[in-house]
C-alpha cells in the first residue's frame, strides 16, 4: 500500500535513491540539484543507507567516480544540473561507451552563459546524442517513479546503458506536492540486486576497461550501442508494465491526453504538460478538439509510435524548451517531424522555442499556440514553422 507524503521533486529523487540504497553515490553541488545529494548525505550520516558517499571536487570527478565504481561492479548514482552536466561532458560519453548503467538525476537548468540558474532544457539537449537513455518527468510523482524504474531499465542485459531522469529545475525540484511513496522493502524487491556479469573486481575473469579502440573496432562498438538503445524501448515498456502491476501507476513511452479525438495537438515535455492540460480542459468546454502528446522517453526516441499517435491531427505544435541555434528549429521538433516524414504522416507542424532561462509559460501562451493551430488546420498552410513563444519584442 502506498504512503501519502508531501515532498519536493528533489526530496522525491533523494528518497528514491535512499530506498534503492546504491553502493556508491558521488556528487558535487550545483543549483538546483544540490538538495538531492544533500538529502542523501543525511541518509548516509544517520545510517539509513550503507552507501559509500564520495564528495568530490567537481562534476567531472563525480561522473569519473561513478564510472570507476560501476566498472568495478558497484551500483552507482549521482545528480547534477546545467553547467555541472557540461563539465561532465567527456565522462558522459565514456560512461555510455563503456556500457555502464549509471543513474543520473538531472534537474534541468539553463547552461551558461550568460549565467542563469533557472529552468530550460539546454543541459539535456546538449547531451542528447551521447548514448544515455533520457526520461522526462512532468511532476514530483513522476520524478520519484522514474527513478525507481531507472536501475531496472539500465541494468537489463540487453541494454547496459546509463540513464538520466530529468525534471524541471525549481518548477518541480523545489515545489512541494502530494506524492505516493512505496515502502523500502517493496522498492528493494522491485529494483533487485545489481549482479553484473563483467566487472573489474571479478578475479575469475580479468578484463580491461576503456582501452584504445581504433578503426578496427570502434565502428562496431558504436553500432552495438545503437542496438542497445533500440532494445531499451521494449525494456522500458516492460519495466513500466511491472511497475503498474505493483503500484497501479501507468507509464508508457509518452502520455496521450485527450488525443483520441483531437484535431490539433501540442507535443511537449516535463512540467509544461501540466499547464497544457489545464488549457485543453477549457478549450474542450468551448468545443475545440485540442489534445496533448507529453513525451516521457526522449532517448530512445519513439518515432514510429509518435507518428502513429499524431497521424489524425490537422495541425501539430512542437514545443522546445531549448534552442538548437541551427536556424531550423529545436531538437524535439526535428525528431518529431523527421519521424512523421519517415512514416509518411504529412501533418502540418510548427515549432515554438519557449521558456528559455526560466521565462514563465502561462495558460495564455498555450492558448495562443492552440489559436495558431486552429488557423493552420483551416488553411492547411504553415507560413512560418519556426517561432518563439513568450518572447518580448521591440515595437517598430
Same fold flag, 3-247 and 254-389:
yes
The mean pLDDT value for 254-265 works out to 98
CA distances from 200 to 19, 69, 210 (A): 26, 9, 11
Side-chain-side CA neighbours of 24 within 13 Å: the count stands at: 22
Helices and strands: H and E segment counts in the chain: 13, 15
Check whether 351 has a pLDDT greater than 50: yes
Single out the residue of 107, 106, 111, 136 nearest to residue 122, CA to CA: 111
Check whether 7 has a pLDDT greater than 60: yes
The mean pLDDT value for 163-177 works out to 98
| pLDDT at residue number 393 | 82
Cis peptide bond N-terminal to 339, omega within 30: no
Cβ 356 vs Cβ 392: under 8 Å? no
The gap from C-alpha 368 to its chain's centroid, in whole angstroms, comes to 26
Query: Grid coordinates representing 160?
Result: 547496459
| CA–CA gap between residue 349 and residue 203 (Å, rounded) | 56
| CA–CA gap between residue 70 and residue 85 (Å, rounded) | 19
CA distances from 93 to 111, 131, 329, 335 (A): 18, 7, 25, 21
Q: Percentage of the chain surpassing pLDDT 70?
A: 99
What stretches of 28-65 adopt beta strand conformation (E)? Answer: 52-55
The mean pLDDT value for 31-42 works out to 98
Residue written as cell 541494454? 159
pLDDT-based confidence at residue 277 (cuts at 50, 70, 90)? very high
The mean pLDDT value for 258-286 works out to 98
How do residues 81-118 score in pLDDT, each as one tens digit? 999 999 999 999 999 999 999 999 999 999 999 999 99
Cβ 77 vs Cβ 25: under 8 Å? yes
Check whether 330 has a pLDDT greater than 70: yes
pTM (predicted TM-score): 0.97
pLDDT-based confidence at residue 396 (cuts at 50, 70, 90)? very low
Cβ 54 vs Cβ 65: under 8 Å? yes
- State which H helix or E strand residue 238 sits in: helix 218-247
Give the domain ranges of the chain.
3-247, 254-389
| CA–CA gap between residue 93 and residue 135 (Å, rounded) | 17
Give the contacts of 204 (CB within 8 A, at least 6 positions apart). Answer: none
Q: The domain 254-389 is classified under which CATH number: 3.30.750.210, 1.10.3720.10, 3.40.630.30, 3.40.50.920?
A: 3.40.50.920
DSSP state of 121: S
pLDDT-based confidence at residue 35 (cuts at 50, 70, 90)? very high
| CA–CA gap between residue 181 and residue 247 (Å, rounded) | 9
The gap from C-alpha 128 to its chain's centroid, in whole angstroms, comes to 10
pLDDT-based confidence at residue 394 (cuts at 50, 70, 90)? low
Q: What is the mean pLDDT of the chain?
A: 97
Secondary structure of 311-330 in the HEC alphabet?
CCCCEEEEEECCCCCCCCCC
pLDDT-based confidence at residue 211 (cuts at 50, 70, 90)? confident
Find out if CATH 2.40.40.20 is the number for domain 3-247. no
| CA–CA gap between residue 349 and residue 158 (Å, rounded) | 35
Q: What is the residue-wise DSSP string for 357-390?
A: GG----HHHHHHHHHHHHHHHHH---S-SEEEES
How do residues 10-26 score in pLDDT, each as one tens digit? 999 999 999 999 999 99
pLDDT-based confidence at residue 166 (cuts at 50, 70, 90)? very high
Amino acid at each position: 500500500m502506498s504512503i501519502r507524503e508531501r515532498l519536493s521533486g528533489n526530496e522525491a529523487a533523494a528518497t528514491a535513491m535512499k530506498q534503492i540504497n546504491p553502493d556508491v553515490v558521488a556528487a558535487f553541488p550545483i543549483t538546483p540539484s544540490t538538495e538531492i545529494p544533500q538529502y542523501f548525505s543525511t541518509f548516509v550520516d544517520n545510517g539509513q543507507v550503507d552507501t559509500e558517499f564520495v564528495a568530490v571536487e567537481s562534476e567531472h570527478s563525480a561522473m569519473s567516480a561513478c564510472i570507476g565504481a560501476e566498472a568495478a561492479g558497484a551500483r552507482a548514482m549521482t545528480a547534477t544540473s546545467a553547467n555541472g552536466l557540461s563539465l561532465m561532458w567527456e565522462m558522459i560519453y565514456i560512461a555510455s561507451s563503456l556500457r555502464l548503467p549509471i543513474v543520473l538525476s538531472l534537474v534541468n537548468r539553463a547552461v551558461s552563459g550568460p549565467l542563469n540558474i533557472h529552468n530550460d532544457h539546454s543541459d539535456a539537449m546538449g547531451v542528447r546524442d551521447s548514448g544515455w537513455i533520457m526520461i522526462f518527468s512532468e511532476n514530483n510523482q513522476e520524478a520519484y517513479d522514474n527513478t525507481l524504474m531507472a536501475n531496472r531499465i539500465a541494468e537489463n542485459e540487453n541494454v547496459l546503458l546509463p540513464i538520466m531522469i530529468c525534471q524541471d529545475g525549481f518548477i518541480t525540484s523545489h515545489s512541494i506536492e502530494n506524492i505516493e511513496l512505496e515502502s523500502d522493502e517493496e522498492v528493494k524487491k522491485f529494483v533487485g540486486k545489481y549482479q553484473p556479469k563483467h566487472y573489474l573486481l571479478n578475479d575469475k575473469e580479468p578484463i580491461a576497461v576503456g582501452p584504445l579502440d581504433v578503426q578496427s573496432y570502434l565502428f562496431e562498438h558504436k553500432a552495438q550501442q545503437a542496438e542497445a538503445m533500440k532494445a531499451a524501448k521494449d525494456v522500458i515498456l516492460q519495466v513500466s508494465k511491472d511497475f503498474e502491476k505493483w503500484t497501479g501507476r501507468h507509464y508508457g513511452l509518452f502520455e496521450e491526453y485527450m488525443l483520441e479525438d483531437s484535431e490539433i495537438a501540442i507535443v511537449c515535455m516535463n512540467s509544461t504538460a501540466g499547464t497544457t492540460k489545464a488549457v485543453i480542459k477549457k478549450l474542450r468546454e468551448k468545443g475545440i478538439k485540442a489534445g496533448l502528446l507529453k513525451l516521457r522517453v526522449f532517448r530512445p526516441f519513439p518515432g514510429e509510435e509518435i507518428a502513429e499517435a499524431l497521424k489524425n491531427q490537422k495541425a501539430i505544435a512542437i514545443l522546445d524548451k531549448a534552442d538548437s541555434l541551427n536556424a531550423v528549429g529545436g531538437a524535439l521538433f526535428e525528431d518529431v517531424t523527421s519521424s512523421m516524414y519517415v512514416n509518411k504522416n504529412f501533418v502540418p507542424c510548427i515549432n515554438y522555442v519557449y521558456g528559455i532561462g526560466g521565462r514563465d509559460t502561462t495558460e495564455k501562451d498555450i492558448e495562443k499556440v492552440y489559436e495558431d493551430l486552429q488557423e493552420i488546420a483551416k488553411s492547411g498552410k504553415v507560413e512560418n514553422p519556426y517561432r518563439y513563444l513568450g518572447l518580448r519584442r521591440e515595437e517598430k
